[in-house]
């Protein structure tokens, strides 16, 4: 094999976005909620059968809208998995609440149901369910539990755009949800996200928070004759220029997902023998989930073997990466949130053993061949 250098990720972007950008430039309107932004929102609502989609400046900001909507009081608690991106926890702090970290289950690496029960207190107000790698959390059970305890469920579907749980698109199953269109995600606008909800009342308040705390959206619809300050908010609206990039992606939803699935299936088929020989563990997609193939990971037997493989693969030009440093053992959480003695064994184990392989539409078949052969060679 001649040596290659395969990037870990490459955004799916080329000159096909120019006509979309041209349209915005010619409209002379670069701020948000213009024709392009509105068209992209409508398309998200139609594609994913969700009643309200509001484009935001990031997935992080969509989560912040969700936690600001909770009107948390000091001491109010929100449950989340420790195995997630830092934005999930930051959003809880931004909303004035206390993050309470839960362990994940060992199959899909999403929040563990037993852990939710264990960590509920009279102060618990909400659960943030994070869908990992494009595979759903156990939403029916989470929604049932939330209903019994009168809790709000927020879906962090940053990685779950165009993925399903029991035939429903992710992001619209909980009371509200968040998508991310960051460069590293399946569908991108560079930076960007969306807030989603099926509830008209929630949508109205989200509009206000997203528009600097004003009722400008009502004003633009002609429902009030001036707009004014209604509650604390921020500036969370995506520019129409970035909405144009997103619109191109939404118009290419299926080809992007199809190529990701091809790569995923090739990895599964061609790494199976290594799993049979217990060199690694392949990802599990439960029958009730339809993945969007956001992440492809393998699990190595231990952290030393994972780090060793990451290094030797890199030396051969295969760039891989780990996921995540568990939030409960991060410097901020241990110092400020006092989580240093919290035991989350599944989180720690997965975080130590997981290795992500390249998966993106422009990854060539010959690159997949090279990655598979490299892994066979290194794990022989």
Ligand X SMILES: *Cc1c(COP(=O)(O)O)cnc(C)c1O
Minimum distance of ligand X from residue 6's CB (angstroms): 22
Strands (DSSP E) found in the chain = 52-56, 77-81, 98-102, 124-130, 152-156, 164-165, 168-169, 176-180, 193-197, 289-290, 296-299, 354-357
- Using alpha carbons, list the distances in angstroms from residue 129 to 111, 155, 173, 320, 336: 6, 5, 11, 26, 23
Contact 170, 163 (CB under 8 A): yes
Report the SS3 class of residue 158. coil
* Opening angle at CA 222, ends 221 and 227, nearest 5: 90
Minimum distance of ligand X from residue 84's CB (angstroms): 5
84 binds ligand X (CB under 6 A): yes
Residues 346-375 that bind ligand X (CB under 6 A): none
Minimum distance of ligand X from residue 58's CB (angstroms): 3
- Both tokens of 192, joined, read 């960007």
Only one residue has tokens 């061609």, namely 270
Minimum distance of ligand X from residue 351's CB (angstroms): 14
Minimum distance of ligand X from residue 88's CB (angstroms): 5
Residues 114-143 that bind ligand X (CB under 6 A): 130
Contact 262, 85 (CB under 8 A): no
Minimum distance of ligand X from residue 60's CB (angstroms): 3
Out of 32, 53, 55, 60, name the contact with ligand X by CB under 6 A.
60
User: Closest Cα to residue 195, out of 373, 62, 94, 58?
Assistant: 62
14, exposed or middle or buried, with CB in 10 Å at 0-12, 13-18, 19+?
exposed
Q: b/e map of 191-226 (b: 16 or more CB within 10 Å)? A: bbbbbbbbeeebbebbbbbbbbbbbbbbeeeeeeee
Whichever of 52 and 182 has its CB closer to ligand X, that residue is: 182
Region for 58 from its dihedrals, namely left if φ exceeds 0, alpha if ψ lies in -120 to 50, beta otherwise: beta
Out of 67, 82, 159, 197, name the contact with ligand X by CB under 6 A.
159
Binding mask 193-232 for ligand X (x = CB under 6 A): x---------------------------------------
Whichever of 58 and 108 has its CB closer to ligand X, that residue is: 58
87 binds ligand X (CB under 6 A): yes
182 binds ligand X (CB under 6 A): yes
* Angle of helix 303-315 versus helix 345-353 axis, rounded to 10: 20
Among the listed ranges 52-60, 116-124, 141-149, 299-307, the one in contact with ligand X (CB under 6 A) is 52-60
Q: What share of the chain is helix, strand, coil (3-state, %, to 5)?
A: 40, 20, 40
Out of 158, 280, 318, 350, name the contact with ligand X by CB under 6 A.
158
108 binds ligand X (CB under 6 A): no
Whichever of 137 and 271 has its CB closer to ligand X, that residue is: 137
Minimum distance of ligand X from residue 301's CB (angstroms): 26
Distance separating alpha carbons of residues 208 and 210, to the nearest angstrom: 5
64 binds ligand X (CB under 6 A): no
Among the listed ranges 58-66, 75-83, 326-334, 358-366, the one in contact with ligand X (CB under 6 A) is 58-66
34 binds ligand X (CB under 6 A): no
Distance separating alpha carbons of residues 256 and 207, to the nearest angstrom: 30
User: Closest Cα to residue 376, out of 277, 307, 249?
Assistant: 277
Minimum distance of ligand X from residue 185's CB (angstroms): 6
Distance separating alpha carbons of residues 261 and 257, to the nearest angstrom: 6
Residues 282-311 that bind ligand X (CB under 6 A): none
Whichever of 54 and 130 has its CB closer to ligand X, that residue is: 130
- Residue number, nearest CB to ligand X: 59
Binding-site size, ligand X (CB under 6 A)? 14
85 binds ligand X (CB under 6 A): yes
Among the listed ranges 111-119, 141-149, 154-162, 211-219, the one in contact with ligand X (CB under 6 A) is 154-162
User: Closest Cα to residue 19, out of 239, 312, 251, 338?
Assistant: 251
Contact 281, 127 (CB under 8 A): no
180 binds ligand X (CB under 6 A): yes
Minimum distance of ligand X from residue 250's CB (angstroms): 16
Q: Which residues bind ligand X (CB under 6 A)?
A: 58-60, 84-85, 87-88, 130, 156, 158-159, 180, 182, 193
């Amino acid at each position: 094999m001649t040596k290659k250098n395969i990037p870990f990720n490459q955004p799916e972007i080329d000159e096909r976005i120019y006509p979309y950008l041209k349209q915005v430039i010619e409209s002379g309107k670069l701020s948000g909620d213009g024709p392009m932004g509105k068209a992209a929102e409508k398309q998200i609502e139609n594609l994913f059968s969700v009643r309200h989609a509001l484009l935001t400046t990031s997935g992080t900001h969509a989560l912040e809208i969700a936690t600001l909507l909770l009107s948390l009081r000091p001491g109010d608690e929100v449950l989340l998995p420790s195995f997630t991106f830092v934005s999930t926890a930051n959003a809880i702090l931004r909303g004035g609440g206390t993050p309470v970290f839960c362990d994940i289950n060992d199959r899909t690496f999403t929040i563990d149901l037993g852990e939710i029960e264990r960590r509920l207190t009279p102060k618990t107000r909400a659960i943030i369910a994070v869908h990992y790698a494009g595979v759903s959390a156990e939403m029916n059970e989470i929604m049932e539990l939330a209903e019994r305890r009168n809790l709000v469920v927020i879906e962090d579907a940053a990685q779950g755009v165009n993925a399903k749980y029991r035939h429903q698109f992710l992001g619209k199953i909980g009371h509200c949800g968040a998508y991310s269109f960051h460069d590293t995600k399946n569908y991108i606008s560079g930076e960007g996200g969306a807030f989603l909800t099926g509830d008209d009342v929630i949508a109205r308040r989200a509009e206000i928070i997203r528009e600097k705390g004003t009722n400008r959206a009502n004003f633009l619809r002609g429902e009030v004759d001036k707009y004014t300050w209604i509650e604390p908010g921020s500036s969370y609206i995506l520019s129409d220029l970035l909405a144009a990039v997103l619109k191109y992606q939404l118009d290419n939803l299926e080809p992007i997902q199809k190529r990701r699935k091809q790569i995923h299936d090739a990895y599964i088929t061609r790494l199976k023998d290594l799993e049979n020989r217990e060199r690694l563990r392949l990802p599990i997609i439960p029958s009730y989930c339809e993945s969007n193939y956001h992440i492809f990971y393998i699990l190595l037997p231990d952290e030393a073997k994972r780090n060793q493989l990451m290094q030797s693969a890199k030396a051969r030009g295969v760039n891989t990466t780990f996921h995540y440093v568990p939030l409960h053992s991060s410097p901020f959480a241990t110092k400020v949130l006092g989580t240093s003695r919290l035991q989350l064994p599944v989180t720690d184990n997965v975080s130590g053993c997981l290795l992500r392989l390249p998966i993106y539409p422009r990854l060539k078949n010959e690159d997949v061949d090279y990655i598979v052969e490299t892994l066979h060679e290194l794990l022989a």
